[in-house]
Structure 1
Amino acid sequence: MAELCLLFDSDGTLVDSEVLLADAMVSTLPRYGLPFTTERYLNEFRGMRFLSIVRVLEAVHGEMEAGPLRQMESEMRALLEEHMKVRLTSMPGMPEALSALSGYPCGVVSNGPERKVRLALDSTRLARFFDGHIFSAYTLGVWKPDPRIYRLAAEQMGFAPSRCVVIDDAMVGVQAGLDAGMHVIHFAHHEDGLGTPPGALRMRHARELPGLVAQISQHISAQG
């Protein structure tokens, strides 16, 4: 079997946090003049950087001043943390899949702040699978869909891109992994109408993950 490094997205891939994030944004953004719905987040903004979402909304509803923008984000993140501490769960089957893959080096690559990622892993008891290998866009200074975020994670993990497998549910992450020259598993547990792009493998449930990783490993080994 080929030696591989597994790079996981967090929200919507390892943990079932997307609806919690949407709820926090729905409770916060409209009070600052930015109408927002859970459906719009899930259908349009899944996996995107928070500031990028705000910029899209500002184009329609008017630009915010820096002070209110900072306050809005602070309130949203505080509310999200409350939700996560009480309501967050891992994706169904993910702890079992990670246990089956425990022989592989694993990292988390997220568009979210490192504090949020660590809270997610600690709240769901998944931190033990990653040995502290957390790569936040806010720390690296580059956000998906920019492929550099996955390349930087691979470099720090000590692997070439061709030996890395990206597991991501959001199209921004799937595209980042493909553009980084990595093997990509699209965790399509939700129907966003976008489908799985050419070059990525499709996964509907975490129980499929060990088999897909084995398939990629065998393919690399066969190529020599």
Structure 2
Amino acid sequence: MARPLCLLFDCDGTLVDSEPLLAAEMAVSLSAAGLPFRAEDYMGDFRGARFRNIVATLEAQHGQVDPDHLEVLEASMRANLNRRLATDLTPIAGATEALAALSHYPMGVVSNGPENKVRTSLATVGLTEVFGNRLFSGYTANCWKPDPCLYLHAASIMGFAAEDCIAIDDAIVGVNAALAAGMTVVHLNRFADAEETPEGAHMITSMFQLPTVISRLQKDRDRHAMLSSG
């Protein structure tokens, strides 16, 4: 039997339903900075993107914002968001159950968000012990999805080659990052009527489906290993 695959989970929108909270706080802060932005803009166009990349896109449309002013607003936004994450956050439906069913696999979290935000999110929904310190933040690694470097960084620290990892991500930027890294990718497509799963990724529409998909992928891998050794 082949070595168990390493499972690398995105956080926002995959494990925790934080995106509506993030979008609301982002709308307040960006609009205050003179960059018109609605919560639905995040959910429609920027889901999973790095905050500073969103700012750059808006500045190209509406003009530059004083960097010092923006830095203060971002700090305030993140503080407000962390307070809301600690009280209002809920897990994505089926995520807790999927993680319990997959507990025999090595698992990590790979997020474009700051590490303290990831830790707050996991603690609020009771998932801290599932992942321990196996948290990989773009702000810690200094690289962000859709660049494959963040997923490759996580795989390396976990002790796995990219081809031995399965990335589970809901955002297209994350799916594309993991595909570019050479990983097997499961796209949690919760908006299947409006969003297309990139070619090469396996689509699920609910985290309840994940254990079955992982089991099938592991069996395919074991079968291939047996044929190769025979």
Do the structures match in fold with TM over 0.5?
Answer: yes
Paired with 1:143 and 1:4, the residues of 2 have a C-alpha distance of 23
User: Which residue in the other structure is 2:46 paired with?
Assistant: 45
Structure 1, residues 58-100: CA drift from partner, whole Å, max 9, x if none? Answer: 0011111220110110111111112211210011111111000
Shift of 1:196: 0.7
- Matched residue SS, 1:186: strand
How many residues align? The count is: 224
TM-score by length of 1: 0.97
User: Which residue in the other structure is 1:161 paired with?
Assistant: 162
Paired with 2:84 and 2:191, the residues of 1 have a C-alpha distance of 21
Paired with 2:129 and 2:204, the residues of 1 have a C-alpha distance of 23
Q: Gapped runs of 5+ residues in structure 2?
A: 226-230
Q: AA paired with 1:48?
A: A
User: Which residue in the other structure is 1:96 paired with?
Assistant: 97
Q: Percent identity?
A: 48
2:179 aligned with 1:178, yes or no? yes
Q: AA paired with 1:77?
A: R
User: Which residue in the other structure is 2:75 paired with?
Assistant: 74
Q: Pairwise CA RMSD of aligned residues?
A: 1.1
Shift of 1:131: 2.3
Paired with 2:197 and 2:100, the residues of 1 have a C-alpha distance of 26
User: Which residue in the other structure is 2:113 paired with?
Assistant: 112
- Matched residue SS, 1:78: helix
TM-score by length of 2: 0.95
User: Which residue in the other structure is 1:143 paired with?
Assistant: 144
Moved over 4 A (4+): none
Q: Gapped runs of 5+ residues in structure 1?
A: none
Structure 1, residues 24-59: CA drift from partner, whole Å, max 9, x if none? Answer: 011221111011111110010000000000000000
Paired with 1:30 and 1:43, the residues of 2 have a C-alpha distance of 17
Q: Which 10-residue stretch deviates more, 192-201 or 46-55?
A: 192-201
Q: AA paired with 2:213?
A: L
> Cα gap change, 1:191/1:24 in structure 2, threshold over 3 Å: closer, same or farther?
farther
User: Which residue in the other structure is 1:218 paired with?
Assistant: 219
User: Which residue in the other structure is 1:16 paired with?
Assistant: 17
Shift of 1:127: 1.2
- Aligned partners of 2:141 and 2:150 also within 8 Å: yes
